[in-house]
């Protein structure tokens, strides 16, 4: 299959890319960090790296070149994300805007570029958070992050309806704490119960199989709180 992964330069995204390629899938790995992407693409010839700021770049030409070489897009994983841990009253409008740009607008831009190359049995998986899951425990300092992830969850439900007639399934995984660089930067010393490698295996399996059973679902993926 042909898989696109955003936020692929580190953490969960990088692990999903490596695992997918090791299973024989073609992978387009997208992120802003050129050095990390080059290192990732060197691990497997099936991984093609694409350095891009998904908030502002026009992806149409680049995606067309890759898709024409592989055939179509089977799976899109919108994994790009940013987490700011800061009290609400101290969080600037610019910081709120950045969170929504990275966590929501990047997914919007990538979906709009990718959907023309997707068809029946294709799957879009948005990586959201338990922080943005309605009814879950909320934490001080995560207002910008959680509200942006909540927006991505609602967008998932909307796109599931938009693309239903095309046969494209759209689902979201609301992740609990996973041991990644992003988590370590936001919460120094906190130890998550799940590694990036473990979560990557779950995400890839879900992305390749769950469209047969789900559409428009926001699925909590957590064994604790968060």
pTM above 0.95, yes or no: no
Are 119 and 166 contacting, i.e. CB atoms less than 8 angstroms apart? yes
pLDDT tens digit at each of 226 positions of the chain = 999 999 999 889 999 999 999 999 999 999 999 999 999 999 999 999 999 989 888 888 878 889 999 999 999 999 998 889 999 999 999 999 999 999 999 999 999 999 999 998 999 999 999 887 887 877 889 999 999 999 999 999 999 999 999 999 999 999 976 656 665 565 566 666 578 889 899 999 999 999 999 999 999 988 765 5
Catalytic residue among 145, 202, 213, 214: 145
For residues 73 and 2, is the Cβ–Cβ distance under 8 A? Answer: yes
**Where do the domains of the chain lie, and which CATH numbers do they carry?**
2-221 (3.40.50.720)
Please state, as a whole number, how many other Cβ atoms lie within 10 Å of the Cβ of residue 208.
Answer: 18
Contact between 128 and 173 under an 8 Å Cβ cutoff? The reply is yes
148 is written with which tokens?
């942006």
Q: Which of 102, 149, 148, 157 is nearest to 130 (CA)?
A: 149
User: Active site includes 145?
Assistant: yes
């Amino acid at each position: 299959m042909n898989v696109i992964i955003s936020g692929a330069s580190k953490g969960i995204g990088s692990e999903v890319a490596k695992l997918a390629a090791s299973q024989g899938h073609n992978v387009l790995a997208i992120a802003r960090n050129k050095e990390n992407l080059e290192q990732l693409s060197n691990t497997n010839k099936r991984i093609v790296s694409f350095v891009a700021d998904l908030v502002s770049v026009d992806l149409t030409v680049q995606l067309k070149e890759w898709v024409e070489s592989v055939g179509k897009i089977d799976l899109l994983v919108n994994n790009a994300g940013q987490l700011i841990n800061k009290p609400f009253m101290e969080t600037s409008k610019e910081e709120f805007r950045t969170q929504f740009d990275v966590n929501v607008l990047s997914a919007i831009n990538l979906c709009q570029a990718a959907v023309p190359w997707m068809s029946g049995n294709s799957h879009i998986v948005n990586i959201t958070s338990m922080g943005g899951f309605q009814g879950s425990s909320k934490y001080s300092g995560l207002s910008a992050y959680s509200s942006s992830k909540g927006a991505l969850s609602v967008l998932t439900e909307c796109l599931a309806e938009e693309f239903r007639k095309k046969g494209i399934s759209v689902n979201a995984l609301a992740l609990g704490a996973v041991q990644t660089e992003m988590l370590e930067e936001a919460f120094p010393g906190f130890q998550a119960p799940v590694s990036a490698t473990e979560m990557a295996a779950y995400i890839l399996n879900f992305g390749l199989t769950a469209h047969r059973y789900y559409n428009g679902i926001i699925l909590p993926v957590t064994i604790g709180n968060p």
